[in-house]
Structure 1
């Protein structure tokens, strides 16, 4: 059955290893997992797992995975919610736990379900409209033993167990062992054993011994006397055997010492292979990204007071709270321990011209491909640990339209905007976002540099089934191969990635709210927020989500219609150009 999917996150999983069953890697068994849940009558809990779209396969897993959910709404990390919303999500996790635990057995389906509950850390729990959703499930940091892995839940209350800190001496408990420690007859809500209690068999033996001793004392002490005498005799025999074993061990050690050479031969150490410059660069980049990830994860674990103290100590301004305007000219945190640069940094603000709209280019002087190439922009939204990638397009001389889910978690509402006509990266600020269900729109005000001249793309509701359309944007699968894109991520704001064009036809127009335009112009993660245009170059929709059909292995694309776009812009009082 096909179902609409909404993007949550693109994960760099090159440092993670995929867990396996006989059928292969766990993330690749999403459909089997859903089928098993349905067979158990638990299909309502299927949305707990985000649907993966895997990137290039590696010896241990995948280089990257994009995660989607059929739930409509913005995915927010559990740690980023207020107390009430977080408790609602934890309640949902408790319900899922009570339903799933009895089925974590040793059957193939139980093993799949059990391994799918592993996540690298609690940072991988997102919440969409009050429902918890797991990303990076079935994955663990490379070299991690399943028996010592972080767990999804572990406390009696059912709350997610925190990932162990590097300085912690407590041994984490895996979901596998925790599940095995719970008898099938355990009442719901009793909690998962944490490994610190007395083993059930030991407890049973202690109870039996105690009962026997109590019973023995009822026979005027005779049984007790026999037990004491037998204990003393056994102790004497044990001491004698221990003495004999000690003597034999002493002679054995002396014989080994006399026969051993005084200077043992040390095998020659082979020379270290010479590392190619390309391999060294990739290794250094990966190590840098891992340090960045650790830095941001450490920040997320701080309390608000500790976080404020950190920024003040390092001369930084903390990100503005929701609804507040960020302080102009203040950069994101750009110095992590060890000299690493976390996430994606923002380009500097231009001079006094930063508040002056760019000049509008004459569309009649441009071909349709030139209009779309210059009017479509790449958007990088810095988020804790990296950046969210998407696409947008100019709707007036100073603002860009994109999807809300592209910029929803941007730190301080600040983003990076770039394309060929801008000749480099510009800083943008999110100034409006949709709030109604299905209103997946956001507007960015761009801080232009002097001389910027951009084409404004007009909106049109003139679209019909079988019309030829094209999608323009920056899909991650292509951008990751673009040297300019990699330079931009490294802080070279003059680097401009290539915009990607795909074409197709309108398959159907669904009269939903908002209107959904189903088309065949292929898009993927990174295209979100990009324009869907007709043969005249007019924008008829904004690419928002994809639809996957597991039965036929087919993908279709869906854009929100321009009628919904214009209604949103009118509501926010934002100017645009409409073609009748």
Structure 2
């Protein structure tokens, strides 16, 4: 059964844990069959409690596992959520867990659900987009897995406290008495506004979570405004309020050596990000209170509170990229009509062959018909310039690219730093080149484009693209021959959202942009553009630690300095860009050929 789990949640290091098996196979390895049967017996909502695992090759308990879900967003441990915001999520979790009781009455499903209803710790019960989901299910700490009584205790501390009715069923399946659960592990009701979250008994070791980079691809093993507007504003208010409640306290940057400087930076980031979200909340509340219908939804809305502060210049409801019209520029040739069309014509998939028959992937974008920008780390391990390929729908295939400039190698313990590479084609391409604008302001609408690995890895067009490259390499084709071929190329992934913060960070005071659009491995080197289609940043870092994920781009300010210092030309556009006020312009149709004159 096809699932809709297309959003990356997290990766987990399974050190210290073992897979719970059924029929000699790890429970997580049976996800497809299990989830289809579970949905048929217990319903779709109950089935969607279980995040989809992307298992590594070999033993599923020996390496990191990536988890995916149907909703986009940062997973937040339920027990870490504010009590008021936690209650509706915990209530939903309880209902969906109790719906699983039907699975225990199914002779075929009962032993498998018993195996799957194990999580390594309470921290694996998370919320995404206000809905509960389980990660690291089907795994237990090593010292618990072989002892049925301890397994029952562990279940009572983790999932059993949200669904006490399942504890006797689990006990029966394990062949132990439910009274054997230790008193201190007795099931606790879901926390409410008046009850604090229950602390987990420290007897069982927690699963060590680490942000992990997906294993490199093995090239030789690749598989072939009107009345309806009010509810939208109300929904947006609720979403922003939830973001304020769930805002992470720390965005951890790796290799940031000076702890005092790091603490000061994090305090600054947290204050600025809170101010950003509070400003959005005030603007949305004001719009909801005034109830004024506008012809466009983009006029600035005054902030509530301190009247001395300027109103946030923000669109109440950012337009999706296919509805966001690009402003017409007098005297300039016609360009793409919408943000979506511009990004489809300017962004490319970067595929790099490395030593040991490995490959890495990333994203790039054109700044001229012959030159592109990506991240240095995407291409720095290439065998040589004969093994860096780009592809896109606009190119209608693939081209070879060579590195002509790059920033210095990464330094340790200095925090964020410039990470750019300039690629060049032998001949110009018929594409759209992005203009470099100023850094986008806080709260402004922004768009990103790229090829995140969790989406394109299983894309049939990507598989065909790589098959075509393999064939071209085996034939020893030149760049001209490569350009003449027609490749299936995956479509670029487009996101839209807001700029949360613009700041400098690290020893070199590198200018960065924090935004709210999901960034994953493979987005590296992709553009962040403003509502006028100008480059505002380059997505570079998927920053995660044990608790949170950050969506970060290097500011266009750093890229402009890099290119200027190397005398590499680019087109700049520093004109003002307020919230858009026009609907998407259709592309100019090609006029029909005139009818032949009668003879």
Instruction: Give the TM-score normalised by structure 2.
Output: 0.39
Which structure has more relative contact order (CA 8 Å, sep 6+)? It is 2
